[in-house]
């Protein structure tokens, strides 16, 4: 379909209003009410350049414009409102959706541009808990959005497999470890060791020093430390892969802290050569006071590296390896200072381009009702347990609603896990939210099950009609407000994806999918689809087919599969 916003902006530019095309384009908006047209141009800004009342300007502009494909142009106070030719929009949108199907909404705008998205980044020897859901799911969708728009994307899981906590784990295992128990129940047993040791070391300097020494041994390649570390890592990755399998999330690499540590010596040498490392109480820091930031420690007083040291080496490695436009980190908002420091260290090193690539995509916290999550204190809720419980609850609800569903087990898994993802993604990523089973499994609210049910309803209508294939059609009879409102929602699908990419905000896509589902249900409830008039029936079935395609595409971007029956 033609980009009418672009066409309108070009026509307005020809009127020599004192604004450039880009300024005009950015001012054009969608009216808040559908009976006010498809686009609106506010004339308030023109009052300065044209020295007239904005209402008078709107009247003059509206009366002097003619645009092919625009049925009516009128002024509403200080706005110029544009009403598109409904039949033309209907023809263009439905035919394009049905023709392109899985490719509807895709773009090649990102062709030849490389992006890296780092997300999930769970820690070895610690639980994959409910708190990890946000980075994992948000990152997956941001990767999907970029790929949908034609970008080359590398999905990286920066596994936390290095650092002081491994000194804790090794020291704890040497004191109390039971290999047989760990092999049987790896994450729970390793968690118990970690929690026990951290409690002991709170008031015991000897325990703290022992953990630091064990990590130093690991950095130095000491044989036993390396053996235990590799064992912990293998056990953990096996457990994590099971959860990623349930979530249907895949990565291009699992290059974590240990992988990138091989480039730390070169990064530290460069920092030294450029006189950026400053000695402070036996440690080495980078002074960031000129940026009003606290100093950043890169080498600890015992000679071991800090987390940010590995991030510096990682950013430089990724720049060399991938030729990135953006190096995107999906990490909680608590790490804002860390990424500010990382960018400035890279800048001081003379790597302004690498610094510009670093993009921290923040998100808020997730919590469970009446529960505080803390790995250190052992207060964790395993994500796998949450997913399994959701699947069980979904199975029970779906069985009570309709026991005719084929393969109810598989359907409950898709709808249940989809419900968890949708609730996560429907919320603005920066906001904290409370995980609530009752809310996310509501089939009537703004939830994943509601969207799934809408898709299944559309597919049911098509099955009942015995009509799934449609060629190019001339739509003459779709003229209700409900039909046109749904068609416009389908038309704006790609705009929503591009906006989601620009804002790095998955909720834009989730809310567009919800809007389409709600408008389809309004159309479905107000309109009889399987009517005697064959032409009208076929047109409404084609609209139903187009809706099912776009909902499926939207859910796919959100990492959610669909079910044919509910």
Query: At what angle are helices 186-201 and 223-247 packed, to 10 degrees?
Result: 120
The pair of three-digit structure tokens given for residue 508, joined into one six-digit string:
């834009």
Of the candidates 500, 544, 547, 520, the one whose C-alpha atom is nearest the C-alpha of residue 146 is 500
Catalytic: which of 10, 55, 88, 126? 126
Catalytic: which of 2, 10, 55, 129? 129
Residue 24 vs residues 21, 30, 440, 496, 500: alpha-carbon distances, Å: 5, 14, 41, 20, 22
Compute how many other C-beta atoms are within 10 angstroms of the C-beta atom of residue 564.
14
Q: What end-to-end distance do the CA atoms of the chain give, in Å?
A: 33
378: left (phi over 0), alpha (psi -120 to 50) or beta: left
Q: Is 129 noted as a catalytic residue in this protein?
A: yes
The Cα 267–Cα 197 span in angstroms is 33
The Cα 405–Cα 398 span in angstroms is 8
Residue 383 vs residues 100, 133, 256, 380: alpha-carbon distances, Å: 37, 7, 21, 9
DSSP assigned state of 40: E
Q: Are 136 and 332 in contact (CB under 8 A)?
A: no
Residue 446 neighbours by CB under 8 Å, 6+ apart: 426, 514
The Cα 170–Cα 531 span in angstroms is 72
Give buried/exposed letters for 391-408 (b at 16+ CB in 10 A, else e): bebbbebbeeeeeebeeb
Cα Rg, the chain, nearest whole Å: 28
Residue 397 vs residues 95, 332, 392, 411: alpha-carbon distances, Å: 37, 33, 9, 12
The Cα 517–Cα 558 span in angstroms is 15
DSSP assigned state of 559: T
With tokens 């591009």, the residue in question is 498
Q: How many CA atoms lie within 13 A of 317 on its CB side?
A: 18
The Cα 137–Cα 44 span in angstroms is 42
Catalytic: which of 132, 255, 421, 501? 132
DSSP alpha helices (H): ranges in 29-85?
Answer: 46-50, 54-64
The Cα 128–Cα 115 span in angstroms is 26
Q: Is 452 noted as a catalytic residue in this protein?
A: no
Determine the longest span between alpha carbons in the chain, in angstroms. 86
Task: Just list the catalytic residues.
Answer: 126, 129, 132
């Amino acid at each position: 379909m033609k980009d009418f916003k672009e066409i309108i902006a070009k026509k307005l530019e020809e009127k020599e209003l004192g604004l450039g095309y880009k300024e005009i384009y950015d001012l054009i908006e969608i009216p808040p009410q559908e009976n006010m047209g498809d686009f609106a141009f506010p004339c308030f800004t023109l009052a300065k350049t044209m020295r007239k009342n904005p209402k008078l300007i709107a009247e003059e502009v509206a009366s002097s414009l003619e645009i092919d494909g625009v049925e009516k142009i009128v002024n509403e106070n200080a706005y110029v409102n544009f009403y598109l030719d409904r039949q033309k929009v209907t023809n263009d949108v439905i035919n394009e959706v049905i023709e392109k199907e899985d490719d509807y909404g895709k773009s090649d705008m990102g062709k030849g541009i490389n992006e890296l998205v780092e997300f999930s980044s769970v820690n070895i020897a610690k639980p994959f808990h409910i708190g990890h859901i946000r980075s994992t799911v948000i990152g997956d969708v941001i990767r999907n959005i970029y790929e949908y728009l034609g970008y080359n994307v590398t999905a990286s899981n920066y596994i936390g497999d290095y650092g002081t906590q491994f000194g804790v784990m090794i020291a704890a295992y040497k004191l109390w470890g039971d290999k047989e128990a760990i092999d049987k129940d790896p994450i729970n047993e390793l968690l118990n060791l970690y929690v026990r040791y951290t409690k002991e070391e709170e008031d015991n300097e000897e325990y703290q020093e022992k953990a630091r020494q064990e990590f130093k041994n690991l950095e130095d390649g000491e044989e036993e430390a390396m053996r235990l570390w590799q064992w912990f890592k293998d056990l953990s990755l096996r457990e994590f892969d099971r959860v990623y399998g349930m979530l249907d999330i895949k990565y291009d690499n699992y290059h974590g802290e240990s992988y990138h540590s091989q480039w730390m010596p070169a990064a530290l040498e460069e920092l030294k050569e450029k006189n950026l490392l400053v000695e402070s109480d036996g440690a080495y820091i980078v002074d960031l006071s000129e940026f009003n930031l606290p100093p950043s420690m890169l080498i600890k007083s015992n000679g071991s590296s800090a987390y940010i040291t590995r991030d510096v080496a990682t950013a430089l490695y990724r720049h060399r390896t991938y030729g990135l436009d953006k190096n995107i980190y999906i990490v909680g908002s608590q790490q804002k200072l860390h990424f500010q420091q990382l960018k400035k260290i890279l800048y001081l090193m003379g790597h302004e381009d690498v610094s510009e690539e670093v993009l921290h995509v923040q998100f808020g916290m997730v919590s469970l009702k009446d529960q505080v999550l803390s790995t250190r204190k052992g207060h964790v809720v395993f994500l796998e347990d949450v997913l399994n419980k959701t699947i069980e609850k979904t199975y029970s609800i779906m069985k009570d609603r309709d026991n005719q569903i084929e393969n109810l087990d598989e359907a409950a898994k898709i709808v249940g896990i989809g419900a968890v993802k949708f609730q996560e993604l429907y919320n603005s990523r920066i906001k904290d939210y409370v995980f609530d089973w009752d809310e996310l499994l509501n089939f009537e609210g703004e939830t994943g099950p509601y969207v799934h049910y809408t898709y299944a309803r559309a597919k049911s209508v098509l099955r009942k009609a015995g009509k799934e294939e449609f060629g190019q059609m001339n739509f003459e009879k779709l003229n209700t407000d409900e039909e046109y409102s749904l068609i416009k929602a389908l038309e704006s699908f790609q705009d929503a994806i591009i906006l989601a990419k620009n804002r790095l905000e998955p909720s834009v896509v989730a809310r567009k999918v919800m809007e389409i589902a709600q408008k389809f249900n309004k159309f479905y409830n107000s309109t009889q689809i399987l009517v005697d008039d064959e032409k009208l029936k076929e047109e409404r079935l084609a609209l139903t087919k187009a809706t099912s395609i776009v909902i499926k595409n939207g859910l796919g971007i959100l990492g959610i599969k669909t079910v044919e029956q509910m």
